[in-house]
Amino acid sequence: MGDITKKIELSYDEFLAEVKKAKKFHGHICGGIFTGIKVALAAKKILNIKKYPDRDLIVITEIDRCLTDAVMSVTGCRLGRKTLKFNDYGKFGATFCSLADGRAVRIAVRPDAMDRIQKEIEKKNIDEHDKESYGLAVFCLPVKQHFIITKTEVNFSEYDLPGRPKVIKPCSMCGENIFDGRHETKNGLACCRPCLNGPGR
């Protein structure tokens, strides 16, 4: 398969432009934002995406923190457009899936990456409030040292793809409509998950 990371060269100018966008989208700048931007830009290179947003891209993120907002800001993927999926793993990782050619890549932060960045910050005596210098330290960490990058395969059901709902069924218990095949069946009748399993399940 070869080393994917050898082919990745990121543009600092593009990184800075995305930082500006992400700050407006997220509300502030932090390490998670810098990292999420770098993750999304790396995926863009690997999948040969010419420009974000890409109508044939679905992203699956793994944490409900800053990294996900950064990925949303850069890629334009959104839950409401069915181009963003969320697996609550509590990890700084995301999988980028091209519907055009079926390729997918998962990018996750290496366990020692933050220590490497922190050492560089201390070595250069960077003030933690100096966001520009902190961002540069994140950007300059070689991709191979920063991320675990894995080619993978992701298969989506027809209900998970962007577009109009394929099916809408009313819950036989509460009467509310259930979209995109998220219903369950009891005694041959469609039921929503809260009615069947209890709220929040």
pLDDT, tens digit, for every residue of 139-166?
A: 999 999 999 999 999 999 999 999 999 9
Q: How does the average pLDDT of the chain come out, rounded?
A: 94
Could you tell me if 67 and 39 are in contact, meaning their C-beta atoms sit under 8 angstroms apart?
Answer: yes
Reported in sequence order, the residue ranges of 112-192 that DSSP labels E, i.e. its strands, are 147-152, 168-170, 177-179, 184-186, 189-191
Length of the chain: 201
The residue with greater pLDDT, 84 or 55, is: 84
Task: Tell me the two tokens of residue 189.
Answer: 């009748």
Q: What is the pLDDT of residue 5?
A: 65
Cβ contacts of 3 within 8 Å, gap of 6 or more:
144
The answer on pLDDT for 175 being more than 50 is: yes
14 — alpha (psi -120 to 50), left (phi > 0) or beta? Answer: alpha
Q: What is the pLDDT of residues 119-138, one digit of tens each?
A: 999 998 988 789 999 999 99
The answer on pLDDT for 4 being more than 80 is: no
pLDDT band at 6 (very low <50, low <70, confident <90, very high): low
Residue type, 92: F
In angstroms, the CA 119 to CA 156 distance is: 41
Name 86's bridge partners: 61
Q: What is the pLDDT of residues 13-65, one digit of tens each?
A: 999 999 999 999 999 999 999 999 999 999 999 999 999 999 899 999 999 99
Task: List domains and CATH numbers for the chain.
Answer: 4-158 (3.30.1330.130), 164-197 (3.30.60)
* Residue indicated by tokens 């394929």: 166
pTM for this one? 0.91
In angstroms, the CA 12 to CA 20 distance is: 12
Q: What is the pLDDT of residue 1?
A: 44
Average pLDDT over residues 104-112: 98
The answer on pLDDT for 3 being more than 70 is: no
In this structure, what are the phi and psi dihedrals at residue 84, rounded to the nearest 5 degrees? -120, 130
